[in-house]
Structure 1
Amino acid sequence: MKRNQYNIRFCCLCSGLTETLGPSTVGYPDDMSLVGTAGVAATFTELRLEEVPEMGYDPLGVPSRGEILIRGSTVFTGYYKNPELTNEVMVDGWFHTGDIGEMTPDGILKVIDRKKNIFKLSQGEYVAVEYLEKVYVFPPIIEDIWVYGDSYKSMLVAVVNPHEENTMKWAGSNGYKGSFSEICKSEGLKEHVLKELAAAAQKNKLRGFEYIKGVVLDPVPFDIERDLVTATMKKRRNYMLKYYQPEIDKVYKTLEGQRAANKAK
């Protein structure tokens, strides 16, 4: 007799942390309205959003956005022998996750940003870098992007990994010849990438200081070998800054020269 053995796996949408001892939100995979979300509050869990004014997130706004706070019987009581950190994240029984969420009128949660990945420019504007990277990665010419802002400057710059196939198509259509690496050195491609980034910013209604003003093009994807990303492909921003600092300094110097020239006119 022939026997067939099947492995059947079930999955569901959810989000949670070690501090919450498992999922704090859940959803059902056959409910298409939950696709792209973290689901709704799990049993014995309460969720609320807290205002993050420096990032412009307001739970009373439309849509409702803010830092995700969790309370319930599954939430931990504190970090072992670390009352300082415990007091930072636990306030009046609510655990502050550090994640930024968006809540729909139906109580469905989306995780859209990370509170801790922000920086401030010279004129006092706070920049939510992960959100911007999600916006700026959409143009077909871009494979990946790292957005950076010097706290002593008023402009954002970025290191871009161009999409090789789409870059070569663009090059062929615009009279550029050479290898992918050679084309990435061209001023024409830089100008094209900046135009695509500006179009993405305009489409997503970004504020003026959130526009990318200068770019460095790197044909080599961000990789573990250069310590630019973790094993799970999360950007190691401090290492990226150290690696690209000389090129970023050149971009800022060029931008400042252009600004000075424009003022002199």
Structure 2
Amino acid sequence: MYEWQNLAEMFMAGVERRGAGPFLWAKMDGAYVSKSWTEAADEVSKLARGLRKLGVGPGDRVVLCSESRPEWPLAIIAIMAIGGIAVPAYTTNTVADHLHILADSGAVGAITSSTALSERVLAASQTHNIKFLITMDKFETAQSPGTDLYDWDGLLSAGAKEPDDIAAAIAERKIDDTAALIYTSGTGGAPKGVMLSHKAIMHNCEGARDALEEIGLDDEVFLSFLPLSHSYEFMAGMFFPISIAAQIYYAEGIEYLSRNLTEARPTIMTAVPRLYEVMHGRIAKGVEQAGGAKQKLFNAAVELGSREFLEPGSLGFGEKIKNALVDKLVRNKVRNNFGGRLKALVSGGAPLNYEIGLFFTALGLRLLQGYGQTESAPLISVNRPKRIKLKTVGPPVKNTEVRIADDGEILARGDQVMQGYWRNQDATNKAIIDGWLHTGDVGHMDEDGYIEITDRKKDIIVNSGGDNLSPQRVEGFLTLQPEISQAMVHGDKRPHLVGIIVPDAEFASEWAKENSKPEELAELIGDSEFARAIDGAVDRVNADLAVNERVRRVMLIADAFSTDNEMMTPSLKVRRYKVMETYGERLEALY
């Protein structure tokens, strides 16, 4: 059924196909430099042999904590090639997070990049001792860690001296072997280790390829900037590109994304909704500042593009001419800002606001929303390029079954379903029943088999009147307002909704200057006039919501939800329980 028996074999097929062609791109001295497929294969072989010399064998867990860079996929493939299990870890993890993963997984070693990341993992290893730590960058420590330290280049040199039998080792790996142990980002508590087989990830790659073949897949180019430790980027930004022998550029960081887009000129790009929201805000802000004819042309592009998408053929003769004009003057410029050859933007990891999706679609960018979770490796469904329904997450991918339970929960079945939670049979038994993965998401399927997500089952608010309300829907509308950066609503077993608002920093700064107020947000949130300005934004949203969805009172906070304060996951989803730990009493006081 599958073309390959394991992910390392899949990688070697790409090596055979592309040879000396470019594979992985990273910035060196201000310019992108590539590593070819053959160079990558040589490095994988040496690293695999080096790891085996350190004692890594089939079933052994090795943690990988690094920012996105070429060494990341090479390390993952090397671990898998000798039968090891890769355990990705976020660079934002605290020492306590690392300790949990090291202890829970029983890792024998770790691979890290920077000094800061290495020190954090070493600190955690003082409680759960690992045998070795391999650092990509030069690393020196005054501590006596009790762990053998190796640098990347040194281990490659040592591996080169070992017998070169990695091809035979790869051939021994089975399709049902566990390939990776990916820890959930923990929106609801301590992360659980999700066991994913080679087959699960290859099922995802095959499903993604089947969905995207409509736009023609050839020598594709990806720009990777999401954390590779997240299951979404792990598959969509790493293994899927490998499966189609694509090139991968690694972004320097979110702050350099605009520059990297024009340098890499990607044909396919994956991102989470929060990034699209930020980009939408920046574009809208720039257009507003430009004003005049530019603003009118831009607004016309959005308005006409939206109508043409929603009601094909509805534009009159004069409107068609105007639409063609703004396509050249506005949409071409937008497309060029994304590199000029983008075939598709893919959104996943969290629900995409409909208005955001429509905005980019109207500007001539093909935006495909997909759906899944770590427990499904992670892909379950995705929109098809030739039939996009922005309010949905598309139909199930190839060889995937989806049904809706009596209580509205989405259930999925297929080869992508996890093997279970690591050393947690009780949780596994609750998540997988009769082969069906219980996603914890609520939704329905339309007449075409497209899935529409309502909310997370556990996040649904049931007010005191018994109404089921979607917090993500309300929060999505709030954060579309230029005055609001982040929002979280609350109201379970209460008569109405209340919320937390993080004001937009740029809006707050400009408002303060115009009103001769202090620019520090911490001071502004206590200003009654500023609070009224934010209330105005909430009122605009409320005007378009059902009565029971309206947010009656809000509190303003200056500190944004972030990974640093643990109120957001690395994939930029709000950890509601963490927010409630800090602000719960103040929210309750609003009633």
Mark yes or no: TM-score above 0.5: yes
Letter in 2 for 1:229: M
Q: Percent identity?
A: 28
**1:6–1:201 Cα change, 3 Å:** same
1:135 corresponding residue in structure 2 = 477
Letter in 1 for 2:380: S
Query: How far apart are the structure 1 equivalents of 2:467 and 2:552?
Result: 16
* TM superposition shift of 1:47: 1.7
Corresponding position: 1:145 with 2:487: yes
1:207 corresponding residue in structure 2 = 547
Query: How far apart are the structure 2 equivalents of 1:123 and 1:177?
Result: 42
CA contact 1:142–1:162 (8 Å) conserved in 2: yes
2:586 corresponding residue in structure 1 = 247
Letter in 1 for 2:538: L
**1:128–1:37 Cα change, 3 Å:** closer
CA contact 2:486–2:502 (8 Å) conserved in 1: yes
* TM superposition shift of 1:228: 2.2
**1:238–1:81 Cα change, 3 Å:** closer
**1:170–1:49 Cα change, 3 Å:** farther
Query: How far apart are the structure 2 equivalents of 1:102 and 1:165?
Result: 38
* TM superposition shift of 1:86: 4.9
RMSD: 3.4
CA contact 2:508–2:519 (8 Å) conserved in 1: no
2:498 corresponding residue in structure 1 = 157
CA contact 1:25–1:39 (8 Å) conserved in 2: yes
**1:88–1:120 Cα change, 3 Å:** same
Query: How far apart are the structure 1 equivalents of 2:420 and 2:387?
Result: 36
1:260 corresponding residue in structure 2 = none
Corresponding position: 1:230 with 2:569: yes
* TM superposition shift of 1:163: 0.7
Corresponding position: 1:23 with 2:364: no
Query: How far apart are the structure 2 equivalents of 1:6 and 1:91?
Result: 41
Letter in 1 for 2:388: S
2:397 corresponding residue in structure 1 = 42
Deviates more, 1:135-144 or 1:184-193: 184-193
Q: Trace 1:45-84 onto structure 2 (pairs within 5 A).
A: 45-52=400-407, 66-72=408-414, 74-75=416-417, 84=426
Corresponding position: 1:190 with 2:531: yes
Aligned to 1:25, the other structure's residue is in SS state: strand
Letter in 2 for 1:194: D
Aligned to 2:388, the other structure's residue is in SS state: helix
**1:127–1:101 Cα change, 3 Å:** closer
1:177 corresponding residue in structure 2 = 517
2:508 pairs with one of 132, 150, 167: 167
Aligned to 2:379, the other structure's residue is in SS state: strand
1:107 pairs with one of 446, 449, 453: 449
State which structure, 1 or 2, has the greater radius of gyration over its C-alpha atoms. 2
Query: How far apart are the structure 2 equivalents of 1:18 and 1:220?
Result: 29
* TM superposition shift of 1:40: 2.0
2:45 corresponding residue in structure 1 = none
Query: How far apart are the structure 2 equivalents of 1:18 and 1:247?
Result: 33
Aligned to 1:231, the other structure's residue is in SS state: coil
**TM-score normalised by L of structure 2:** 0.34
More strand by share: 1
CA contact 1:176–1:183 (8 Å) conserved in 2: no
CA deviation vs aligned residue, 1:132-187 (integer Å, no higher than 9, x gap): 21222111110001212264x423221111012223444555x4522242322112
CA contact 1:138–1:200 (8 Å) conserved in 2: no
Letter in 2 for 1:239: K
Query: How far apart are the structure 1 equivalents of 2:445 and 2:429?
Result: 26
CA contact 1:190–1:215 (8 Å) conserved in 2: no
Residue ranges of structure 1 left out of the alignment (5+ in a row)? 53-65, 253-265
Query: How far apart are the structure 2 equivalents of 1:37 and 1:125?
Result: 23
1:56 corresponding residue in structure 2 = none
Query: How far apart are the structure 2 equivalents of 1:239 and 1:81?
Result: 25
Deviates more, 1:5-14 or 1:42-51: 5-14
CA deviation vs aligned residue, 1:120-143 (integer Å, no higher than 9, x gap): 334444433223212221111100
**1:191–1:79 Cα change, 3 Å:** same
Q: How many residues align?
A: 232
Residue ranges of structure 2 left out of the alignment (5+ in a row)? 1-19, 25-219, 222-240, 242-267, 269-345, 347-367
Letter in 2 for 1:40: P
CA contact 1:135–1:201 (8 Å) conserved in 2: no
Corresponding position: 1:117 with 2:459: yes
Query: How far apart are the structure 1 equivalents of 2:465 and 2:452?
Result: 30
Aligned to 2:449, the other structure's residue is in SS state: coil
Query: How far apart are the structure 1 equivalents of 2:372 and 2:525?
Result: 41
